[in-house]
Amino acid sequence: MKIHEYQAKEIFAKYGVPIPPGRVATTPDEVAQIAGEIGKPVVVKAQVHVGGRGKAGGIKLGKTPEEARAAAEQIIGMDIKGLKVEQVLVEAAADIKEEYYIGITTDRAARRNIVMVSAAGGIDIEEVAASTPEKIARLHLDPALGLQDFQIRQLAYDAKLPAAATKGIGPFLKALYKVYVDYDCSLAEINPLVLTGEGTLIAADAKINIDDNALFRHKDLAQYQEAQEEDPIEAEAHKRGLTYVRLEGDIGIIGNGAGLVMTTLDVVQREGGRPANFLDIGGGAKAEVVRTAIDTVLLDKNVKGIFFNIFGGITRGDEVAKGMLDAMSTMDIKVPIVVRLTGTRAAEGLKLLEGSALTPAATMQEGAQKIVGLVNNAGQAA
């Protein structure tokens, strides 16, 4: 689960991390009011669950309450990477001298949590990691020992932080680690950690992602959950009880079993296609589920073809075929559908499909080639 910057800052504040004074608002009037109360230049920051808000124009300075109002008028309602800005954080603008990065995440390969510190903060840390990885000091943590003082000194030294930052960073890293552990985070990050003109450190941004599997241990976070932003098609699919993940391509994929669907995505990709989604209809799916699956995949208007890959175990081929035929006769389906059916009652299923508009395939590979061919040819003809 992702939470907003202002929510993450509330948590960090409880752990003693200095953050700029401020509040969240939903209207330009409220923003002007808060800016007036703060009585200093403020920064107005879009609260959406994506990074790079600064670059997208979602962060603006306001020297007076009127400037803050004008900034809010631009930011509220704005679209950032497909998310509509409903609320903004208004807080005292930091007097930024330097920007650093500190973060903790799970390093799955090392089976350890990893702490990262960089003097190149503020901008996208992924960019720093890709182009100048040596600018990020890293250290794996032993869960039994936690984060030790000598490790903090090592990180500050490796990151070549200036003396003022080295002196002050200890409490920030300790609080970050404590929050990370206490809240079962998959990521806890302060970027930028700001060194002010006065030589003090302050958290100008905060990001916390919480492991969904641990949410039952954090009833206090339920208040943050209703505000989750989700892809609208994913939300609808989950309402319909389907295991669906939206991807960026144009070939809808439906199969039974997560492993089979994952493999199908890979095989379609290898044949030069771009999967539009992951959809696992599970074991023993009945005709109605098949129909719902097709309907859901077609909610994505990018979909130009569907590949059904069914390996019949407890799922019966004739049931799947009935669902497909029902969908074909009752829905207005304009895209080609390729079907690979094998296993339990596959022969009966394929017989039912004879004479329909569906394209049968004997193997997964053949099916992938056929759907990629059909989708790509349609693209050329159009």
Q: Active-site residues: which are they?
A: 101, 189
In the complex, minimum distance from the CB of residue 80 to ligand GDP, in angstroms, rounded to a whole number:
9
205 binds Mn ion (CB under 5 A): yes
- Between strands 359-361 and 337-343, the pairing is parallel
Stretch of 163-171, 205-213, 252-260, 316-324 lying at the interface with Mn ion (CB under 5 A): 205-213
Binding pattern to ligand GDP, positions 98-137, x when CB under 6 A? -x----------------------x---------------
Q: Please state the closest distance from residue 205 (CB atom) to Mn ion, in A.
A: 4
Q: How many residues bind ligand GDP (CB under 6 A)?
A: 16
The binding track of 176-215 with respect to ligand GDP, each residue x by CB under 6 A or -, is ---------------xx-----------xx----------
Using CB under 5 A, which of the segments 33-41, 82-90, 173-181, 189-197 binds Mn ion?
189-197
- 96 interacts with, out of ligand GDP, Mn ion, none, CB within 5 to 8 A per kind: ligand GDP
| Total chain residues near Mn ion (CB under 5 A) | 2
Does residue 373 interact with ligand GDP by CB under 6 A? Answer: no
> For 196, phi and psi rounded to 5 degrees?
-85, 170
C-beta atoms surrounding 8 within 10 Å: 25
318 CB burial (10 A radius; 0-12, 13-18, 19+): buried
Contact partner at residue 189 from Mn ion, ligand GDP, none, CB < 5 to 8 Å by partner kind: none
Nearer to ligand GDP, 46 or 147 (CB): 46
Cα(191)–Cα(206) distance, rounded to whole angstroms? 7
Among 113, 191, 277, 292, binds Mn ion (CB under 5 A): 191
Judged by CB under 5 A, the stretch of 148-156, 185-193, 216-224, 244-252 that binds Mn ion is 185-193
Give the one residue of 96, 114, 129, 164 binding ligand GDP; rule: CB under 6 A: 96
Q: How many CB atoms lie within 10 A of CB 162?
A: 14
Among residues 17, 35, 68, 94, the one that binds ligand GDP under rule CB under 6 A: 94
Indicate which of ligand GDP, Mn ion, none lies near residue 204 (CB less than 5 to 8 Å, by partner kind): ligand GDP
Q: Which is nearer to Mn ion, 205 or 300 (CB)?
A: 205
Report the distance separating Cα 241 and Cα 191, nearest Å. 37
With CB under 6 A as the contact rule, the residue among 39, 52, 197, 272 that binds ligand GDP is 52
* 17 near ligand GDP (CB under 6 A): no
Does residue 264 touch Mn ion according to CB under 5 A?
no
Listed residue (70, 73, 35, 75) closest to 59, CA to CA: 75
What does the buried/exposed string (b/e) look like for 216-237 if buried means 16 or more CB atoms within 10 Å of the residue's CB?
Answer: eebeebeebeeeeeeeebbeeb
Is residue 98 a contact point for Mn ion (CB under 5 A)? no
- Positions touching ligand GDP (CB under 6 A) are 43, 45, 51-54, 59, 93-94, 96, 99, 122, 191-192, 204-205
Binding site for Mn ion (CB under 5 A): 191, 205
